[in-house]
């Protein structure tokens, strides 16, 4: 893809190696990973969707279910609600996320590492946790409920706050990746041409991270519209599409209507995908082989403002967490505020007790290791592969799909697909393996985008040069691509690990007697009204994910010193 | 080849991949263990499950129980989704309404357990041989937070109709029947007690006082226990448990009568462990088992054995309406659709 958009004055013929054994090997790999996505994503979804055009007994009824859906105002009203929530969340999250990422990459504020770690808090907790924190903060017995001036936290206000909390790190990851690679020569040129600072911002900075901004917006939008944890805990009677799926499936056991709502929920994803394709065609590789890394220079006023902003956002993020820890340690809020560990006695609660905690750690480990190998290889093949355009486009489409698929739908689709009596893969059902597979697929998109963003910023000259030197593709991959992209790869590892720790919706239908999970326990305990133990288990997940994140931080720092020296002047 | 060369790396990657596949397969196989293991789906409270298994194992140490526990809605959805290829051997402790649904789908294996004649007839499926047997009844109740009551200064409600009075406006939480079995139990009991028209009129008035609807049946009472709402429409068992933990609540049995449902037991059609499943179901209706249920529930299948349960209000058995489960099961979809039309779009976008 990148060949087509090389800057105009590039030397005319791109070095074209012959269709070699390499190319066939790469095509075979694309085929294998593509097949993996077809079996673990497309086929289950197809099974699920075919439910939406059938009646309860499985007879084909055409659009009857859809007609029933669209003639029920109570249901269609949720479409509007969902779009509203997702749009407001996107506007807030992308604005805040961009400013934050900008502060971390383009200003000289102190404690950047600390700020960046704090922004990772939300991905270290289940999406139910911000909802729980909001109940303690703004609920009817809330610590600071007066701050809402009589508005109820149960409803759109609560959902948007929780979704901003939940989606912020996803936006920040993408925007930092996008902002941290800039060619200092462009800025030097702009300054030499006496461009004003706003002009530089609008003509150099924004266009440079345009792709990141649009990716972030579409990731946040789809996350917000498909998330079910936040609206479930704090949504009150404000219906959104994701909770409608839950109500249809769990409450009414109406799988057909649940499938219809899921199809409605898929539409924004298709639109987002179309936008993504259009933008991507215009994307230009920023980091040419001769680029010079940009280093911000101190400017007192700007740096102070940025520092203030980062502190505010950090207080919001850390505060929510602190409230949950407080809730977990208090015996019986608000009537008995003595401190202790009563709420950690998970074995007498719903959700599988402490066993589920250990299961979650196993799930997270497997998902991180296997998922990173699969996803990064896939992204690399699709970005840097030569020829086989149709296959790569199809693959790209498959890789984008999971973002739009609500976990609940994925989980149900898995039951229908993997538990079908004729499916030879049926032995996977109720095992840790199926949890791993579904979790990798569920979180494929952001990890894939992280890899793609990193890979896009590598000049295709690297490949061209090594191909002209007759280096086999795997050698370029291992000696150049992997080291250059190592920060992104480590981000993918940690992203998959923590999401596997925190995910609820996809796995709620898939866990078996031996594979109960901590995150599902949070859901079940909150669902039963045991909100304090739910907060306690949520905090256990947080501490685990945070420790692993800390290890990641030091490993990354060590490896960065070894492999990223070229980025420094 | 030297370490670090591509061939070496590929070999290592392949080895890792093979190991991963092998691990996945072994994980998969581990789930299909010996014949003396029963997979039992249940909605019984988690804190009681270990006790249930332990008591059963006192008499049958050779049969191991693997629990799959979830809320009533999720277990039901899971069982229905697995209809063509069931994983459960036995269902022990799920709403009779759910079991009726499964019965109509032909998912249950009819079996007449030994000693069934001792059970109260309303705890037995009407078919012969029956497809399910009841364990205990869980009954609707109102949980009132006495601390919050003091703050707001409203009188204690004594009937369902009381809840529609203006002094309770915005103070009541109840489960949404579209996502909660308890919510449906409430709605179907009101329709049976007040008649179709009167029932909807009552709910119209109640709707005006509702602060929010929850997705789970126990949540309104637990929220009342924490003072998140002053009044929660829930079930007595939950209220008693919260009260035992020190929550400042009163559990009210409304004077008109209360809806109820049973926790029940059934064998899943197609189980590969039929003999062990029969053993478990036989045990599930013994006196010993009933005494076990009585530790949490006031009303059990062999009511003669029942002892009062701490914190349970008086007069539950008398207040239980003559619940028509067939009515509830047959009209479920229609009632839920009507409820949804009337109340589910309560919140308008702001």
pLDDT digit string, tens, across residues B206-244: 999 998 888 788 889 999 999 999 999 998 888 888 888
A172-186, B79-93, B162-176: lowest mean pLDDT where? A172-186
- B248 near A CB under 8 A: yes
Contacts with A, B 30-69, CB within 8 Å: 30-32, 39, 45-47, 50, 66-69
A368 touches chain B (CB under 8 A): no
In angstroms and rounded to an integer, the radius of gyration of the C-alpha atoms of chain B is 24
pLDDT, greater one: A257 or B18: A257
How far away is chain B from the Cα of A118, in angstroms, using its nearest Cα? 30
The length of chain A in residues reads 569
Name which of B71, B225, B227 is nearest A524 (Cβ-Cβ).
B71
Query: Which one of A75, A140, A475 has the shortest CB-CB distance to B229?
Result: A140
pTM, rounded to two decimals: 0.80
**Residues of A in Cβ contact (< 8 Å) with B13:** 373
A545 touching B, CB under 8 A?
Answer: no
Closest CA–CA distance from residue A421 to any residue of chain B (Å): 6
Using a CB–CB cutoff of 8 Å, tell me whether A377 touches chain B.
Answer: no
Chain B neighbours among A 167-186 (CB < 8 Å)?
Answer: none
B207 and chain A: CB distance < 8 Å anywhere?
Answer: no
CATH superfamily, domain at B37-137+261-313 = Periplasmic binding protein-like II (3.40.190.10)
Q: Chain A residue closest to B20 (CA)?
A: A370
Residue written as tokens 């369902």?
A: B160
State the pLDDT at residue A10.
44
Partner residue opposite B215 with nearest CB, options A73, A232, A370: A232
Minimum-distance CB partner of A81 among B47, B101, B349: B349
Structure tokens at B203: 């709910």
The C-alpha atoms of residue A394 and residue B117 are separated, in whole angstroms, by 64
Average pLDDT over residues B293-306: 91
| B333 vs A: CB within 8 A | yes
Angstrom distances, CA of residue B275 to CA of A194, B269, B271: 87, 13, 9
Which pLDDT score is estimated for A420? 77
Rounded to the nearest angstrom, the minimum Cα separation between A34 and chain B is 17
Q: Which of B24, B186, B246 to mutate to test the interface with A (most CBs of A within 10 A)?
A: B24
What tens-digit pLDDT sequence spans chain A (569 residues)? 333 443 444 444 555 555 667 778 778 888 888 888 899 999 998 988 888 888 888 788 888 889 988 888 888 889 999 999 999 999 999 999 999 999 999 888 999 989 988 988 898 899 899 999 999 998 888 888 888 787 888 889 999 999 999 999 989 988 998 888 777 888 888 888 888 888 888 888 888 888 889 888 988 988 898 888 899 888 888 889 888 887 787 767 788 888 888 888 878 766 776 776 677 666 655 556 667 777 788 888 899 999 999 999 999 999 999 999 999 998 888 888 888 888 888 776 766 678 889 999 999 999 999 999 999 988 888 887 766 778 788 888 888 888 777 787 788 788 778 877 788 888 888 789 999 999 999 999 889 988 988 888 777 777 778 778 877 777 888 888 888 888 889 989 988 998 899 988 888 778 877 788 999 888 888 887 888 999 999 999 999 999 998 898 888 888 878 776 666 65
Best of B178, B247, B333, B336 to disrupt the A interface by mutation (most A CBs within 10 Å)? B178
CB atoms B228 and A155 under 8 Å: no
Over its C-alpha atoms, chain A yields an Rg (Å, rounded) of 24
CB A425 within 8 A of CB A268: no
**ipTM value of the model?**
0.73
Distance from the Cα of residue A288 to its chain's centroid: 28
Question: Which residue of A lies nearest to B217 if distances are taken between CA atoms?
Answer: A528
Q: Is residue B135's pLDDT more than 50? A: yes
Report chain B residues whose CB lies below 8 A from the CB of A238. Answer: 347
Sign of CA dihedral A46, A49, A55, A61: negative
Q: How many A×B Cβ pairs under 8 Å?
A: 190
For residue B1, what pLDDT is reported?
38
Q: Does B178 touch chain A (CB under 8 A)?
A: yes
Contact state of A84 with B349 under an 8 Å Cβ cutoff? yes
Phi-psi sector, B259: left (phi>0), alpha (psi -120 to 50), beta? beta
Among B31, B84, B216, the residue with its CB nearest the CB of A430 is B31
Q: Answer whether B9 sits within 8 Å of A73, measured CB to CB.
A: no
Question: Taking CB atoms and an 8 Å cutoff, what residues of chain B touch A29?
Answer: none
Q: Best mutation site among A250, A348, A368 for testing chain B: the one with the most B CBs within 10 Å?
A: A250
Highest average pLDDT, of A292-306, B5-19, B253-267, comes from B253-267
State the pairing for strand pair B172-175/B210-214: parallel
Which residues between 42 and 81 in chain A have a beta carbon less than 8 angstroms from any beta carbon of chain B?
Answer: 72-75, 77, 80-81
Q: Do B180 and A72 make contact, defined as CB atoms within 8 angstroms? A: no
The secondary structure element, H or E, covering residue B81 is helix B72-81
pLDDT of A547: 92
CATH architecture of B139-259+329-343: 3-Layer(aba) Sandwich (3.40)
Locate the chain A residue with the closest alpha carbon to B341. Answer: A74
Between residues B17 and A450, the one the model is more confident about = A450
Task: List strand residue ranges (DSSP E) for chain B, in order.
Answer: 37-42, 64-69, 90-95, 108-109, 133-145, 172-175, 210-214, 231-235, 249-252, 260-268, 299-300
Residue B20 has pLDDT above 60, yes or no: no
Q: Does residue A112 sit at the B interface (CB-CB below 8 Å)?
A: no
**Angle of CA points A486, A177, A268, to nearest 5°:** 115
The shortest CB-CB distance from A237 to any of B341, B347, B350 is to B347
* Residue B350 three-state SS: coil
Helical axes A255-282 vs A407-418, angle rounded to 10°: 120
Cα gap B317→B309, rounded to integer Å: 13
**Nearest CA-CA distance, residue A391 and chain B, Å:** 24
For chain B, say whether A543 makes contact (Cβ under 8 Å).
no
So what's the pLDDT on residue B31?
43
Contact A381, A33 (CB under 8 A): yes
Which chain A residues have a beta carbon less than 8 Å from that of B176?
Answer: 237, 247, 251
Instruction: Please list, residue by residue across B273-307, b when 16 or more beta carbons sit within 10 angstroms of its beta carbon and e when fewer do.
Output: beebbbbbbbbbbbeebbebbbebbbbbbbbeebe
* CATH 3.40.190.10 location in chain B: 37-137+261-313, 139-259+329-343
Residue ranges of alpha helices (H) inside A107-143 are: 112-119, 128-138
Q: Name the residue facing B10 among A254, A436, A474 (closest C-beta).
A: A474
- For residue B333, the chain A residues in CB contact (below 8 A) are 252, 254
Closest CA to B191 of B203, B205, B178, B176: B203
State residue B202's pLDDT score: 97
Give the whole-angstrom CA distance, residue A199 versus residue A202: 5
Residues counted in chain B: 350
Rounded-to-integer distance, Cα B302 and Cα B167, Å: 41
Pairing label, strands B90-95, B37-42: parallel
**Other beta carbons within 10 Å of A146:** 9
Kind and range of the H or E run holding A328: helix A300-329
**In the prediction, which pLDDT does B345 show?**
61
Regarding predicted confidence, which is higher, A48 or B96? B96
The class (CATH top level) of A21-30+65-567 is: mainly alpha
Question: Could you say which of A250, A351, A475 has the minimum Cβ distance to residue B179?
Answer: A250
Q: What is the mean pLDDT of chain B?
A: 86
Lowest mean pLDDT among A363-372, B57-66, B106-115, B320-329: B320-329
Cβ within 8 Å of B, A 136-155: 139-141, 154-155
Q: What is the largest CA-CA distance in chain A?
A: 76
Mean pLDDT value of segment B51-69: 92
CA-CA distance, A172 to B154, in Å (whole number)? 50
Residue A382: both structure tokens together: 């699709």
CB distance A351–B220 less than 8 Å?
A: no
CA A366 centroid distance within chain: 18
Q: Indicate the range of A406-410, B181-185, B280-284 predicted with least confidence.
A: A406-410
Q: Which of residues 299-338 of A touch B (CB under 8 A)?
A: 332-336
List the one residue out of A438, A448, A563 whose CA is nearest residue A510: A438
Contacts of residue A431 in chain B, CB cutoff 8 Å?
Answer: 24, 27-28, 30-31
Question: Which among B77, B216, B349 has CB closest to A528?
Answer: B216
CA–CA separation, B309 and B189 (whole Å): 24
Neighbour-count burial of B32, counting CB atoms closer than 10 A to its CB (0-12 exposed, 13-18 middle, 19+ buried): exposed
Q: Which residue has the higher pLDDT, A239 or B33?
A: A239
- Pick the residue of A513, A519, A535 with the most B CBs within 10 A to test the interface with B by mutation: A513
Spatial CB neighbours of A264, under 8 Å, sequence gap ≥ 6: A69, A79, A241
**DSSP letter string, A27-64:** HHHHHHHHHHHIIIIIHHHHHHHHHHTB-TTS-B-TTH
């Amino acid at each position: 893809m990148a060949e087509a958009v090389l800057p105009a004055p590039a030397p005319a013929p791109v070095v074209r190696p012959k269709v070699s054994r390499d190319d066939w090997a790469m095509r075979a790999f694309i085929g294998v990973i593509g097949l993996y996505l077809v079996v673990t994503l497309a086929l289950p979804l197809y099974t699920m969707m075919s439910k939406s055009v059938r009646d309860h007994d499985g007879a084909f009824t055409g659009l009857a279910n859809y007609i029933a859906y669209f003639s029920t105002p109570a249901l269609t009203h949720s479409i509007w609600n969902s779009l509203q929530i997702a749009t407001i969340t996107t506007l807030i999250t992308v604005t805040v996320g961009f400013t934050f990422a900008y502060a971390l990459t383009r200003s000289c504020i102190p404690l950047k590492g600390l700020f960046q770690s704090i922004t990772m808090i939300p991905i270290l907790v289940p999406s139910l946790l911000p909802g729980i924190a909001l109940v303690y903060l703004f609920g009817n017995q809330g610590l600071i409920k007066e701050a809402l001036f009589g508005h109820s936290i149960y409803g759109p206000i609560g959902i948007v706050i929780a979704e901003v909390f939940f989606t912020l790190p996803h936006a920040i990851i993408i925007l930092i990746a996008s902002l941290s690679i800039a060619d200092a020569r462009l800025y030097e040129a702009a300054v030499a041409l006496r461009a004003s600072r706003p002009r530089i911002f609008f003509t150099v900075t924004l266009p440079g991270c345009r792709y990141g901004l649009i990716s972030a917006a579409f990731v946040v939008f789809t996350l917000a519209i498909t998330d079910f944890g936040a609206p479930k805990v704090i949504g009150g009677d404000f219906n959104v599409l994701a909770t409608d799926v839950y109500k249809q499936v769990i409450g009414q056991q109406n799988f057909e209507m649940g499938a219809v709502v899921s199809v409605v929920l898929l539409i924004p994803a298709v639109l987002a995908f179309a936008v993504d394709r259009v933008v991507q065609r215009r994307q230009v590789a920023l980091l040419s082989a001769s680029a010079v890394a940009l280093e911000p220079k101190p400017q007192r006023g700007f740096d102070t403002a940025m520092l203030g902003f980062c502190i505010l956002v950090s207080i919001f993020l850390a505060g929510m967490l602190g409230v949950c820890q407080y809730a977990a340690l208090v015996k019986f809020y608000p009537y008995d505020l003595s401190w202790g560990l009563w709420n950690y006695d998970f074995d007498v609660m719903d959700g599988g007790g402490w066993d589920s905690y250990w299961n979650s750690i196993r799930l997270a480990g497997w998902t991180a290791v296997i998922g990173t190998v699969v996803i990064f290889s896939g992204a690399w093949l699709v970005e840097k592969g030569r020829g086989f355009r149709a296959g790569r486009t199809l693959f790209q489409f498959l890789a984008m799909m999971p973002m739009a698929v609500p976990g609940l739908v994925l989980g149900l689709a898995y039951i229908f697909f993997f538990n079908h009596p004729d499916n030879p893969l049926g032995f996977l059902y109720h095992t840790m393996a199926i949890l791993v597979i579904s979790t990798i697929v569920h979180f494929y998109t952001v990890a894939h985008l992280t890899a793609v963003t990193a890979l896009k910023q590598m000049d295709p000259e690297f490949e061209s040069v090594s191909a002209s030197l007759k280096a086999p593709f795997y050698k370029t991959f291992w000696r150049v691509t992997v080291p250059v992209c190592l920060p992104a790869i480590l981000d993918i590892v940690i992203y998959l690990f923590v999401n596997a720790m925190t995910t609820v919706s996809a796995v709620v239908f898939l866990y078996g007697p031996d594979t109960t999970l901590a995150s599902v326990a949070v859901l079940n305990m909150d669902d039963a009204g045991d909100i304090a133990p739910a907060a306690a288990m949520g905090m256990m997940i947080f501490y685990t994910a945070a420790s692993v994140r800390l290890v990641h931080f030091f490993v990354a720092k060590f490896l960065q010193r070894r492999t990223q020296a070229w980025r420094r002047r | 080849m030297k370490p670090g060369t591509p061939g070496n790396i590929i070999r290592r990657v392949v080895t890792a991949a093979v190991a991963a596949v092998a691990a996945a397969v072994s994980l998969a196989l581990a789930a299909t263990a010996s014949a003396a293991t029963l997979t039992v789906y249940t909605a019984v409270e988690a804190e009681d499950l270990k006790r249930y298994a332990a008591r059963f194992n006192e008499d049958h140490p050779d049969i191991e129980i693997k629990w799959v526990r979830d809320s009533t809605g999720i277990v039901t959805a899971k069982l229905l989704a697995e209809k063509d290829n069931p994983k459960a051997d036995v269902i022990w402790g799920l709403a009779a309404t759910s079991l009726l649904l499964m019965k109509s789908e032909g998912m249950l294996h009819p079996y007449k357990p030994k000693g069934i004649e001792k059970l109260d007839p309303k705890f037995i499926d009407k078919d012969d041989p029956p497809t399910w047997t009841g364990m205990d009844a869980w009954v609707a109740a109102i949980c009132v937070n006495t601390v919050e009551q003091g703050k707001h200064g409203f009188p204690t409600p004594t009937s369902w109709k009381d809840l529609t009075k203006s002094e309770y406006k915005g103070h009541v939480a109840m489960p949404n029947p579209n996502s909660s079995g308890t919510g449906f139990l409430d709605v179907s009991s009101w329709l049976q007690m007040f008649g179709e028209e009167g029932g909807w009129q009552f709910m119209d008035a109640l709707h005006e006082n509702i602060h929010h609807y929850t997705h789970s049946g126990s949540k309104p009472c637990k929220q009342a226990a924490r003072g998140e709402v002053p009044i929660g429409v829930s079930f007595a068992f939950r209220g008693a448990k919260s009260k035992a933990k020190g929550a400042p609540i009163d559990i009210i049995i409304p004077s008109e009568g209360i809806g109820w449902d049973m926790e029940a037991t059934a064998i899943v059609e197609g189980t590969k462990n039929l003999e062990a499943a029969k053993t478990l179901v036989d045990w599930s209706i013994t006196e010993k088992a009933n005494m076990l249920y009585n530790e949490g529930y006031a009303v059990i299948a062999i009511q003669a054995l029942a002892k009062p349960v701490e914190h349970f209000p008086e007069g539950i058995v008398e207040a239980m309406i003559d619940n028509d489960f067939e009515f509830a099961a047959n009209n479920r979809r229609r009632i839920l659709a009507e409820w949804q039309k009337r109340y589910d779009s309560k919140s308008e976008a702001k």
